[in-house]
Amino acid sequence: MIEWTMKGVEVANCNCTCGCPCQFSQLPTHGRCEAYGFVHIDTGRFGDVQLDGLRWGALLTWPGPIHMGNGTMQVIVDERADTKQRAAIQAVAHGEHSEPGKLVWNIFASTIAMFLPTVAKPIELSIDVERRVASVRVPDVVNGNIESLRNQVTGAPSRARLVLPNGFEFTEAEFASGTATATGAIRLDFANTHAQLAHIHWSTHGVVR
């Protein structure tokens, strides 16, 4: 396998109610899983290919729980990336050159029946993990906004954090609420559903702790 590493921030939004049963090894809220996730790479490399400063993401949908498979996935790569960088990011997103079962993208890939063609697009991405806010804009693909959970009585921001000591995506994430529409090859329509923000450090061998 090619040795690679990727460090930065990630935001994800799915169709489950806030909190997401999947994070607690339970079945999804509505019986099926739909999601998007985007990453800003602060520092990264894939073999001798540098990935610093690039962005990428993926849209995913499954007809049932993720572990039941038959999913569809499309990767979106930063249009600023050159040919080698695009190939490297796609390889990571498709679970290639990753130790089996150690990282979210490798695990997701094992459940995907159809990989749609990867597309290169301008990705507007803002992620503030500590404030629990984010936004994603990809023309003709997805528009999403993430905001803090709110106290149902006062409306004040409410904080919820999940720690997964052996997590295959992150060790710690802030939970939030997301609203999004996706109008490309994979269509999504979320309103105040589960979202999470995390500092990530991934490698060929899984989550770096």
Structural domain of residue 78, as residue ranges?
Answer: 4-207
Please compute Rg for the chain using Cα positions: 16
* Lookup result for tokens 């702790």: 209
3-state DSSP call for residue 106?
Answer: helix
CATH of the domain at 47: 2.40.400
Tens of pLDDT, residue by residue, the chain (209 residues) = 999 999 999 999 999 999 999 999 999 999 999 999 999 999 999 999 999 999 999 999 999 999 999 999 999 999 999 999 999 999 999 999 999 999 999 999 999 999 999 999 999 999 999 999 999 999 999 999 999 999 989 999 999 999 999 999 999 999 999 999 999 999 999 999 999 999 999 999 999 99
Residue 31, amino acid: G
Alpha-carbon distance 86 to 66, whole Å? 26
| Cα distance between the two ends of the chain | 21
3-state DSSP call for residue 66?
Answer: helix
Cβ atoms of residues 38 and 75 within 8 Å: no
* Lookup result for tokens 């923000």: 197
Q: What is the largest CA-CA distance in the chain?
A: 53
pLDDT of residue 178: 98
Alpha-carbon distance 195 to 128, whole Å? 13
> For residue range 161-174, what is the model confidence (pLDDT) as tens digits?
999 999 999 999 99
pTM of the model: 0.96
Alpha-carbon distance 194 to 145, whole Å? 12
> For residue range 85-94, what is the model confidence (pLDDT) as tens digits?
999 999 999 9
* Lookup result for tokens 């999913």: 71
Structural domains counted in the chain: 1
> For residue range 20-46, what is the model confidence (pLDDT) as tens digits?
999 999 999 999 999 999 999 999 999
Distances (CA, A) of 121 to 74, 77, 114, 137: 12, 6, 21, 10
